[in-house]
């Protein structure tokens, strides 16, 4: 499961094994061994490095969660990642929706006071 999830997260982030090494400090050979199943388990230190570099949760890499978005990372980073490659029209629409939702939340909060 770990190797499959590692490869899926790396592919999702559009990173080569070398780029993942550059971000995580985990050697390419080890990444390759994880992904092919030659090595089935990573040390806690390497697991954390890989999860941080891929911006996924450790639970996702271990197969304990299907949610690829990290639970402990900034929500903004997750949102921006989801918008990668989107057109400027889509991004503008998302910004308008966010502004409307924030304004509605503020108005509700004033009403509750």
pLDDT per residue as tens digits for the range 39-55? 999 999 999 999 999 98
Give the per-residue pLDDT at 62. 92
Report the candidate in 75, 82, 22, 69 with the shortest Cα–Cα distance to residue 49: 22
Q: How does residue 73 score in pLDDT terms, banded at 50, 70 and 90?
A: low
Residue predicted with more confidence, 75 or 92: 92
Asked whether 67 and 60 are in contact (CB, 8 A), the reply is: yes
């Amino acid at each position: 499961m770990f190797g499959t999830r590692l490869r899926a997260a790396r592919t999702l982030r559009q990173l080569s094994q070398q780029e993942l090494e550059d971000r995580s400090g985990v050697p390419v050979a080890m990444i390759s061994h994880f992904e092919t199943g030659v090595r089935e388990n990573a040390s806690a230190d390497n697991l954390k490095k890989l999860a941080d570099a891929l911006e996924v949760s450790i639970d996702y890499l271990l197969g304990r969660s299907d949610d690829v978005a990290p639970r402990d990372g900034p929500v903004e980073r997750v949102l921006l990642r989801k918008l990668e490659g989107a057109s400027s029209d889509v991004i503008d629409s998302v910004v308008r929706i966010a502004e409307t939702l924030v304004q509605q939340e503020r108005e509700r909060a004033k009403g509750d006071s």
